[in-house]
Amino acid sequence: MKPLFQMMALACAVALSACGDNAQTAPNAATAPAPAAGKVYKVVSESVKPPLITYVEGKPTGFEYDVLQAIAAKQGIVFEYQTVPMREHLLATIQQGKADVAIGAITITDDRKQQVDFSDPILNYTTAVLVTKDLAGAKSFAELRGKRVASRKGTIYEQMALNELADEKGDNIRYYDTAWLQVKSVLNGMEEIVLGDSHILEYYVQQHGKDNVAFVQGMTFPQDNYGFAVKKGDTELQKQLNDGLAAIKADGTYGKIYQTYWHKK
């Protein structure tokens, strides 16, 4: 009996030893740095910037969100989303290392390239002039000067409106809190003109009707590009974004996402 007892004790000791090894390796595996293919990145944006990014019941949606998620699927990475209260905080959040990617209608400019790095362009756009239909034949800002303008503070379009469309007192420039409220004011005839990003204005017109408004066709503006912003020198993430973007353009995913929002490519 004694030898049998010793054998059983030895077997139990081996089993417990094996269980102990498993118990130690499991936490290490869970807490170990994720492999590059499964790395988690933090994404920051405003909470309301439709149709590019907006939150519905606490969940992000929109064109840039869909593009970023498609990139994540291609590259085997994960994005977690958070918001900032003010647009001015976006790039600062990246610079301070509190997030890895900033999204939401961020135009690629030389000045911003001094602060952050950018992905390849994700969407190009031009300035659009949305007006009540009676003004659609305008060929210059001079023909529109003095008309009622729906503007928004802190945007490049506010300055454009003040420089090109304001009357002597500037009383014709009215301010609204969001792009949608600007467009709505022209749709219902309260205002006559809104200046903005072509994609955003086109989206709202598609969603809410175009019977009373039109885009001025006789004026042209240079093309600009939106990109995803990353911390200066983060070439690894920049490459992940660029490679994924190229892949979803090549396989048609990007085009399908685009058509979801603007119905054309």
Residue-wise DSSP of 66-94: HHHHHHHHHHT-EEEEEE-SSTTHHHHHH
- Asked if residue 1 belongs to a domain, the reply is no
216 φ, ψ to 5°?
-70, 125
Average per-residue pLDDT for the chain:
85
- The confidence score (pLDDT) of residue 2 equals 41
**CA atoms within 13 A of residue 67's CA, in its CB half-sphere:** 28
**What is the tens place of the pLDDT at every residue in 13-67?**
433 333 333 333 222 222 233 334 579 999 999 888 889 999 999 999 999 999 9
Q: Which domain holds residue 146?
A: 127-215
Domain count, the chain: 2
Residues 45 and 118 in one domain: yes
- Asked if residue 246 belongs to a domain, the reply is yes
Q: Compare 209 and 242 and report the one with higher pLDDT.
A: 242
**What is the tens place of the pLDDT at every residue in 189-205?**
999 999 999 989 988 99
Residues 75 and 99 in one domain: yes
- The confidence score (pLDDT) of residue 187 equals 95
The closest alpha carbon to 179, from 146, 210, 153, belongs to 153
- The confidence score (pLDDT) of residue 12 equals 38
Residues 112 and 51 in one domain: yes
- Asked if residue 11 belongs to a domain, the reply is no
Q: Compare 124 and 88 and report the one with higher pLDDT.
A: 124
Q: Compare 128 and 5 and report the one with higher pLDDT.
A: 128
**What is the tens place of the pLDDT at every residue in 220-244?**
999 999 999 999 999 999 999 999 9
Give the CATH number, domain containing residue 252: 3.40.190.10
Residues 98 and 171 in one domain: no
Residues 70 and 136 in one domain: no
Peptide bond into 51 cis (omega under 30): yes
